[in-house]
A and B are shown apart, each in its own frame.
Chain A
């Protein structure tokens, strides 16, 4: 079947290492940001979100960092596991309702 990661930038990480996936967003008026994980053959799955009044938020094994000055978002995954292999998308809310604009995506490959 077709792969959603066919033309996306790829990050290869050794199992057990930490992963950092970066994203530059475009709209300085965006006030809500989300990271999604998309495994092959599936729809995007919500991982973690952050609002613009914060610069860091932690979840289980994941941390999102927001730098509004340079419009940069990152997702850190601790102790990366083979099950983390997927395409990761950042998304920003840039509308009055929950209109979400997706970034280009990064394919994470975990090397056992």
Chain B
């Protein structure tokens, strides 16, 4: 498995501003993922972030709104730009660990409220 931390754990922001969320993992991983979880909902994949290449975005998500950085194999950031109340969600990063389970492990999430 992997130990994943996120900063901030929660924030309250004004509409029109931007917030950058950090994700740190305790081991080198190839693939990192960013998800959004709206209140009472399941998780929706925003994008996949590989080190050394542009992030791959899912349908409905664009780079201008959710720019992602992946400067090395243990760190990634997701920025939520020009926020509106509809962006209020939990944002989670996850990593793929090639162990026996070959699956994804998740960080604790960042709870964002936009006023």
Contact = CB atoms under 8 A, between A and B. Distances in A.
B39 A6 contact: yes
Nearest to A3: B40
Majority secondary structure of chain B interface residues (helix, strand, loop or mixed): strand
A99 B40 contact: no
B102 A89 contact: no
A102 B43 contact: yes
B10 to A, nearest CB: 8
Interface string A1-32: 11111111000000000000000000000001
Given A1-B111, A43-B92, A49 B39 contact: no
B39 A2 contact: yes
Contacts of B94: 43
Interface string B8-30: 00000000000000000000000
Contacts of A34: 103-104
B106 interface: yes
Interface string A27-43: 00000101010000111
A105 B104 CA distance: 17
B104 to A, nearest CB: 6
5 interchain residue pairs of minimum CB distance: A7-B40, A6-B40, A43-B106, A102-B43, A102-B42
26 contacts: A2-B39, A2-B90, A3-B40, A7-B39, A32-B102, A41-B108, A42-B109, A43-B94, A43-B106, A44-B106, A46-B103, A46-B104, A89-B42, A89-B43, A97-B96, A98-B31, A98-B96, A98-B102, A100-B33, A100-B45, A100-B103, A100-B104, A102-B43, A103-B42, A104-B42, A105-B42
